[in-house]
Amino acid sequence: MSILDAVARRRSHSKVTGDAPSHEELLPLVEAAATVADYGSLQPWRLIELRGDARVRLGEAFVAATGLEGRDAEKLASKPLRTSLLIAVVAVHKPSFKVEEWEQDIAVAGVAHTLSLLLHDAGWGVMWRSGKQVDADAVRELHQLAPNERLFGWLYVGGLPEVTKPEKKHRFDAEAALTEL
């Protein structure tokens, strides 16, 4: 399969099985994702694996960040439990006289998206999730973020269910998006 075919077939998978790649299986994918364009070679990112109890603590941090109670709190707390592996995507803003913070953020997003493509190609279901909680103090504290770091969200990674819905044909008007000057 060509790279074009692999990218065109990528879909977000909101429902996955409890299977997940091991740390060792992730390493070559992260190494490959690290080859994205990175002006200044700053590597302004890091990734954090959340498995097991770390996902429970993340749900608790979500609730602490919102102050929800009862059924709403339970629902929010269960979100990180949808899969057995979450990969937190963290921007690590580094001082640079030539690379602006927004340019560093582009590299972070590139790593996350490339990693999601590589995981998809390896047969895993992936969905990138974010939300208001990424900036919440309780969530930042859980991830042990430094003042120069920003959480971009999490890649939810799991096995693909045997029965999946047929892929929707995504229509995109490339002609309208690609203009000339």
The superfamily CATH assigns to domain 12-161 is NADH Oxidase (3.40.109.10)
168 pLDDT tier (thresholds 50, 70, 90):
low
Q: In the prediction, which pLDDT does 149 show?
A: 97
Q: In the prediction, which pLDDT does 54 show?
A: 97
Share of the chain above pLDDT 70, in %: 95
pTM given for the model: 0.89
Q: What is the pLDDT of residues 95-131, one digit of tens each?
A: 999 999 999 999 999 999 999 999 999 999 999 999 8
- What number of other Cβ atoms are within 10 A of residue 49's Cβ? 15
Q: Which residue has the tokens 């059924």?
A: 71
Q: What is the 3-state secondary structure (H, E, C) of the chain?
A: CCHHHHHHHCCCCCCCECCCCCHHHHHHHHHHHCCCCCCCCCCCEEEEEECCHHHHHHHHHHHHHHCCCHHHHHHHHHHHHHCCEEEEEEEECCCCCCCCHHHHHHHHHHHHHHHHHHHHHCCEEEEEECCHHHHCHHHHHHCCCCCCEEEEEEEEEEECCCCCCCCCCCCCCHHHHCCCC
